[in-house]
Amino acid sequence: MASGKLSRAEALACPGCRHACHVMLYCDTKTLLFGSIPIRHIILMQMRFDGLLGFPGGFVNPSEESLEAGLTRELSEELGVALSILEEDHVDSCYAPASSSSSPRLITHFYAKKMEEEQIREVERAAVTTATDHGQEVLGMVRVPLYAMEGGGGLAPFLSHSFVGNARFQLTDTLLHLHLVAPEELREAGACSLKIQAHATEELRAALASAEVKSKLL
């Protein structure tokens, strides 16, 4: 992480720090996209209330509950399922970029939990049926495409979206850490992703110019 990693114990010893815990739920899959492209792994992220992509999770107060108990509680609200997150699922902890000098520092703790494919599907179903946060904190669950299609579709466009906090770091670092994508795959996706972002910026300017003209005619 760009903003400085620290151990779980160091993080918990930080006086006055705020803590947020998030998790990457994932599974292996033998499913082929369109019968030919290996999907390899299903990874869950979510569209958040603020319009950004992120991982399930939220704030935890370690003086009231353990990091993992707090994360488990957040998941039950956001996903509508009882998933037990354990200390062994911890990937890393790091300081989030400071938002202002006066607010207490935020430490983000990241976890990864491997599940069975049917459990991942159950999480997707529960997120829109039993989860209390559906339509509130969570606007929808999405899977992360790891493949690279011939026309450029897959991981590259996905990485070009806007993510909350250090969620993009957490995704790319954890994909490498767990060997879910190879370093050269990530490098190629990243280079392509920057071009897609540049194109998106041009397109957004054009859409706004068009809306500007239209609003004068309304």
67 or 94: CB nearest its own copies = 94
Residue 183: CB atoms within 10 Å:
10
| Residue 12 in contact with its own copies, rule: CB under 8 A | no
3-class SS of residue 178: coil
Reading the block at residue 80, the tokens are 């509508």
| Residue 9 in contact with its own copies, rule: CB under 8 A | no
Can you say whether residue 68 is alpha, beta or left, with left for phi > 0 and alpha for psi between -120 and 50 degrees?
Answer: alpha
7 or 31: CB nearest its own copies = 31
Q: Are 111 and 19 in contact (CB under 8 A)?
A: no
Q: Tokens 């690279």, residue?
A: 148
| Residue 124 in contact with its own copies, rule: CB under 8 A | yes
| Residue 8 in contact with its own copies, rule: CB under 8 A | no
| Residue 135 in contact with its own copies, rule: CB under 8 A | yes
Which of 117, 153, 159 lies closest to 33 in space, CA to CA?
153
| Residue 206 in contact with its own copies, rule: CB under 8 A | yes
**45 phi and psi angles, rounded to 5 deg:** -130, 180
- Residues of this chain, 20-49, that bind its own copies according to CB under 8 A: 31, 33-34, 39, 42, 47-49
| Residue 119 in contact with its own copies, rule: CB under 8 A | no
Give the x/- contact pattern for its own copies in 142-181, rule: CB under 8 A: xxxx---x-xxxxxxxxxxxxx----xx--xx--x-----
Q: Are 164 and 53 in contact (CB under 8 A)?
A: yes
Reading the block at residue 92, the tokens are 């890393």
Question: Where does this chain touch its own copies (CB under 8 A) — which range of 19-27, 66-74, 85-93, 183-191?
Answer: 183-191
Question: Where does this chain touch its own copies (CB under 8 A) — which range of 65-73, 78-86, 107-115, 131-139?
Answer: 131-139
| Residue 52 in contact with its own copies, rule: CB under 8 A | yes
The residues, ordered by sequence, that sit 6+ positions from 112 with a Cβ below 8 Å of its Cβ are: 23, 24, 26, 89, 91, 174, 178
| Residue 51 in contact with its own copies, rule: CB under 8 A | yes
| Residue 98 in contact with its own copies, rule: CB under 8 A | no
